[in-house]
């Protein structure tokens, strides 16, 4: 059974994330979305809200589940008996940080590999931060986030 972890903050989940989730689900037996509970940051959405929005988003994907985690990603991967971390790469600007994370994870956990998926071109500019900015200016969000996120985002911004 090949289990992959797709970690992130998901504040909130975007269609770019969802694209990576669907493609990963086609490659692995089970994909666990790991939502980071980062006590050092103050996200717009609570951990529970982020997990619930993701659960709604992946409702039709049988081999995808959503969980939160705290602490080191590689520890979470080990607990879940996974040796694969998935990350999406949008552009060169992502590369430095992603490479640093992948290499430091591999230094402390040589048995765990990071697999990078290139983001589909239509989502190459998209980020949770841009979506939150657009929401503040009443931009139509249908091209950017799953349907179930739109009203929650608009309520939050108000």
- For the chain, what's the residue count? 158
Does 59 help bind ligand PNS (rule: CB under 6 A)? no
Does 83 help bind ligand PNS (rule: CB under 6 A)? no
Does 4 help bind ligand PNS (rule: CB under 6 A)? no
Question: What CA–CA distance (Å, rounded) separates 101 from 15?
Answer: 23
Does 89 help bind ligand PNS (rule: CB under 6 A)? no
C-alpha of 37 from chain center: 13
Nearer to ligand PNS, 44 or 101 (CB): 101
The answer to whether residue 30 is catalytic is: no
CB 98 within 8 A of CB 116: yes
The answer to whether residue 17 is catalytic is: yes
Residue given tokens 């765990």 in the structure block: 112
Does 7 help bind ligand PNS (rule: CB under 6 A)? yes
Q: Report, as residue numbers or ranges, the catalytic residues.
A: 17, 41, 90, 128
């Amino acid at each position: 059974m090949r289990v992959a972890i797709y970690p992130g903050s998901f504040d909130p989940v975007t269609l770019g994330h969802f694209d990576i989730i669907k493609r990963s689900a086609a490659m692995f037996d089970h994909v666990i979305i790991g939502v980071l509970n980062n006590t050092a940051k103050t996200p717009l959405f609570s951990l529970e809200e982020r997990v619930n929005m993701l659960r709604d988003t992946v409702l039709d994907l049988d081999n995808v589940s959503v969980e939160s985690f705290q602490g080191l990603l590689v520890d979470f991967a080990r607990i879940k008996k996974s040796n694969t971390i998935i990350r999406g790469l949008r552009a060169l600007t992502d590369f430095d940080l992603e490479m640093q994370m992948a290499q430091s994870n591999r230094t402390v956990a040589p048995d765990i590999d990071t697999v990078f998926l290139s983001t589909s071109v239509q989502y190459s500019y998209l980020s949770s931060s841009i979506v939150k900015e657009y929401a503040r200016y009443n931009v139509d969000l249908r091209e950017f986030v799953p349907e179930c996120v739109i009203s929650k985002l608009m309520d939050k911004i108000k």
